[in-house]
Structure 1
Amino acid sequence: MSPKGDYAAVKKDIASILDKPDYDDGSLGPIFVRLAWHASGTYDKKTRTGGSNGATMRFDPEVADGANAGLEHARAFLEPIKQKHPWISYADLWTLAGATAIEEMGGPTINWKPGRSDKDPKKLTAHDVPPNGRLPDAALGQDHVRQIFYRMGFDDREIVALVGAHALGRCHADRSGYEGPWTHTPTRFSNQYFKLLTGLTWRKKEWDGPVQYTDEDDELMMLPADMAVIRDPEFAKIAKEYAQDKDVFFKDFAAAFEKLIDLGVPRGDDKGNAPVAPNQKKAGAKL
């Protein structure tokens, strides 16, 4: 067990388990990013409910949300690390796993900060767990996408940047109903998603599943929510910029992801920074 507050040790352990040849495309990275995303993306800025604080995905109704199907595997993969470092909250562990995965898969450095606590199941109230329906529905278009992200406090540029996380991973028919990867390198963080989305011709896939889109070789897929990015003039302009400039995308994504995983987290000063442990000045930057 590491000393309390040794987040670098936890991060090292997370990095050590990412390679998993018998899982999906050989990496746990994409599902850890999804875990961090979904644990945070329930935030409502008006009611100040939801978000990454509390690790409420452990409880109903959030744990049973169809949008979270398959994330029980991500939580289980991280359980040995939680047992090794029992002082870290699940809320911090899940978000640190996502940040670590992005960096280890070639993405930008994420300035992750500690400070999340876990809700005590013995003191849990219905108000503590966000209702289902707060996460994006892949079947819907740009109006829905804006509604979901505006509720959290994101603008159009941040929305498109965060959608760029679809550079990673794939869909599974037994979880979401959709099937296939977005990119040719689903375990490598890059701007390839935007290059493909804006550069290829996408057509509706002919199959028995829900509406999704495929390239001419039927190797890749896009969801209706992805197509909304290129059908909306403002979104499309940003997507094309990211397709042309990886550095701009990485910069914007890092800032938006840092904001996402901090939603709902109480901070120790008026600048929104986490309380600093005596031995960990600017903890996030040192990890």
Structure 2
Amino acid sequence: MASTAPRLARLGALLARQGAPATSVLSQVRAFSEKAGAGPAAAAAATAASEAKEAKSKIRGFQALLFGGLGAGFLYGYSLFTSQVPESGPLSGPPALLTSKPSTPGDYAAVRQSIAGVLDNNDYDDGSYGPVLVRLAWHASGTYAKKDGSGGSNGATMRFAPECEWAANAGLAVARKLLEPVKAAHPWISYADLWTLAGVVAIEEMGGPVVPWRPGRSDAPDGAKIVPDGRLPDAKQGAKHLRDIFGRMGFDDKDIVALSGAHTLGRCHPDRSGFSGPWTNAPTTFSNLYFQELLNNKWVPKKWDGPLQYEDAKTQSLMMLPSDMALLSDRTFKKYVNQYAKDEEAFFKDFAVAFSKLLELGVPFPAAAAKA
């Protein structure tokens, strides 16, 4: 597919050159007319021939403009819909967002529509940026500490180093850059609100529950309030670590299992987390399939050069992390795994409550702010 764009460019150039021969033909007719100049009949014939050639030249010029423009337009459209989002470099960033008109402050429906418009891309992972937007919202919020009120989504401090460089946030530059055209189209929304709303919209667009969300987050001017690294979950750890991480934010065992259900989306990348592969065979659909796979498959350690992870013994195409396996080895966690595997509606309900709470941790909402 990469060779299509150059071919289209060449086609446009060839079409544009169709008008060129008319000039030389016209010069030849005029020269013939001057040499023949003996009588009125010859002059009249030359004049008629000249007018005919000029008409053809105009037609060819119009064709060149028309088809050349169409070729250029098709090439531009092709580049928009096949562009990937490089993580760095002078050409980094997603295609420009096409909007009919700028939104007015407070028009969150327009922001939602813009976010939904950038989700699908067949050239990225499994065809959707949805999973990485959910991860962005999660990691921007999951630094909260209930004890002192530090961290959380307010401030959008992942815009600054060192938070944007944490190993736990590897790969999230893709999500942040993807949302830049949305921010440009709706400059009145804060990054903190945009990132969390993007996670909510992604979940809903991928078939998940409606997650209550409300605006009111502001952006920090710098990274002065970045919390120490190490507050996000470590997938290499077990049940105690999960309780420590989520307990710091104020979550209980049911919340931990419900939020872990977000692993029904997306996949791991060796160049980001070090792990590899998807949890389910439907990584762009929000469902309770993660819990079903976790319960119903036999999981064995994956034989490879990477960190410890597990693969299904039957197909070796799915994977689970040590932190996922902890949901099976812990009796209380497993109780909720069983429940959610059998009852998707219960999972959706509990996930929506827990995820909404996660996105609001540490945010000083105005008293009258309503959830949208």
Task: Indicate the TM-score class for this superposition, using the shorter chain for normalisation.
Answer: over 0.9
1:208 is aligned to 2:309: no
Residue in structure 2 matched with residue 134 of structure 1 by the alignment: 231
Measure, in 2, the Cα distance between the counterparts of 1:207 and 1:27. 27
For 1:110 and 1:129, how far apart are their aligned partners in 2?
27
Alignment of 1:1-287 (within 5 A): 1-121=102-222, 124-125=223-224, 128-216=225-313, 217-269=315-367, 275-276=368-369, 282-284=370-372
- How far apart, in 1, do the equivalents of 2:356 and 2:299 lie? 31
Amino acid at match of 2:366: G
CA deviation string 1:33-77 (max 9, x = no partner): 000000000000001000000000011221111000000010000
Mapped contact 1:61–1:131 kept (Cα < 8 A): no
Letter in 1 for 2:275: Y
Residue 138 of structure 1 aligns to a residue in which SS? coil
Q: Residue type matched to 1:188 in 2?
A: T
Structure 2 residue matching 1:203: 3-state secondary structure: strand
Alpha-carbon distance in 2 for matches of 1:117, 1:236: 38
Larger radius of gyration: 2
CA distance in structure 1 between the partners assigned to 2:116 and 2:160 by the alignment: 27
TM-score by length of 2: 0.72
CA contact (8 A) 1:51 1:265 kept: yes
How far apart are the structure 2 equivalents of 1:226 and 1:62? 25
Cα distance, 1:283 vs structure 2: 4.9
Q: 5+ residue gaps in structure 1?
A: 270-274, 277-281
Higher RCO (C-alpha under 8 Å, 6+ residues apart): 1
AA at the equivalent of 1:145: L
Structure 1: how far apart are the matches of 2:171 and 2:357?
Answer: 24
- Counterpart CA distance in 2 for 1:13 and 1:145 is 35
Q: CA deviation at 1:169?
A: 0.2
The one-letter amino acid paired with 2:149 is: R
Q: Please state whether the residue corresponding to 1:214 is helix, strand or coil.
A: strand
For 1:207 and 1:258, the matched residues in 2 are separated by: 37
SS at match of 2:360: coil
Distance 1:230 1:153 in 2: 22
2-side partners of 1:61 and 1:237: how far apart?
38
Higher helix proportion, which one?
2
Following the alignment from structure 1 to structure 2, what is the Cα–Cα distance between the partners of residues 94 and 107? 18
- Superposition RMSD in Å: 0.8
How far, CA to CA, are the matches of 1:153 and 1:60 in structure 2? Answer: 27
1:99 alignment partner AA: V
> How far apart, CA to CA, are the structure 1 residues paired with 2:249 and 2:148?
10
1:213 CA drift (Å) = 0.1
Q: Would you identify which runs of 4 or more consecutive aligned residues in structure 1 move more than 6 Å? A: none
- Identical-pair percentage: 61
